[in-house]
Amino acid sequence: MKKLITAFCFLTLHAYMFGQVGINMPNPQQTLHVGGSTENVRIEGLNYPNNSNNLGPESTTRVYVNALGNLVLGGINDIPPLLIDSGNYLENQETPENVVIQVGHGMGYTPTASPNNWSDYVFTLIDTAVVEVNYSVSWNIYNQIDDKRKRINDNRARVVHTGMYFMKIFNSGCQTPYCGNPTSVPTCDPTTTSNCYVVKDADDNFINGGPWCIRPVSENNCTSLAGLFALNGQYYTNSESEHGEYKNLRTNGSDYIKLPPGDYLGLFACKLEVEDTGGSGSAKLWLGVGDDELQIRIYYVN
């Protein structure tokens, strides 16, 4: 008991004289400084099973700092909220606005499928953040040379590529997500005042090794660039015996992007690759013909 009182008095005196307390540290550098390469700090109020937010053995639980400066375990309310949680993000239509035509080369993607009520889906980052994106998008394929939009059942190999990109919003009064988009500027210039496609992340790195072509004119000519992410390719073949021509198919994607502050809108791009573009191989794809899910969650970087 005497040793305990002596140690307590020493720590109290040290803190009073120098404003800093060291445990296993003769020269503390902070208000409380714990020394030792393998030492740790234990708080009984955060342990398992005393605290219901502790996930228990074989798990780890995040520790947060609340408004009072107290250390607390994260509960259900501490999970970063979904900024966007849409069960039908894209317009359900088969029109020129959401069509993708195989042009015989694999250079670029085609921007397609407008969001429903797109102005409701513009989200704001008040600081640099990591943006988590998850989506499930629908698509149909038809024979391009058939005016009746015949579903293809030739059992030939095709690959459908889908991805997302962000547009930085400066003019929220636009009536369409494509207004103010550059057709020749590859990146958002820091001094720009018009909407533009994002090609770089918050660390000034090209997204996914880009920039990516999203408006190809020919194999070596591109009119617009963007930073594509959450890329996924799905192999597709169908036959009449499998009734593949009647199936509405889907592709899923997930990714994380670090972005600077600003207003953003998520858009989709698609590419259809076929074994042979001649005859029945000439195909059209419509993106977003069914219910298309999109979730966006952010994690601010301190």
Q: pLDDT tens-digit profile of 175-190?
A: 665 565 544 444 666 6
Q: What is the structure's pLDDT at 60? A: 77
Q: What digits encode the pLDDT tens for the residues 283-300?
A: 788 888 888 999 999 998
pLDDT at site 16: 47
Residue 191: the pLDDT is 64
pLDDT of residue 266: 93
Q: Which residue has the tokens 């018009």?
A: 194
| pLDDT tens, residue by residue, 8-39 | 455 454 544 557 888 888 888 888 888 888 87
pLDDT average, residue stretch 48-65: 80
Predicted pLDDT of residue 229:
95
Closest CA to 188 of 91, 279, 263: 263
Closest listed residue to residue 89, CA positions, set 267, 299, 271: 267
pLDDT (0 to 100) of residue 133: 96
User: Could you tell me the pTM of the whole model?
Assistant: 0.75
Q: What is the pLDDT of residue 185?
A: 46
pLDDT at 39: 77
d(CA 213, CA 63): 42
Tell me the per-residue pLDDT of 70-127, one tens digit each, with 9 for 90 and over: 888 877 666 777 889 999 999 888 777 777 877 655 667 888 888 888 878 889 999 9
Reported as a single tens digit per residue, the pLDDT across 198-240 is: 989 999 999 998 888 887 776 677 778 889 999 998 777 666 5
The pLDDT-based confidence of 149 (bands split at 50, 70, 90) is low
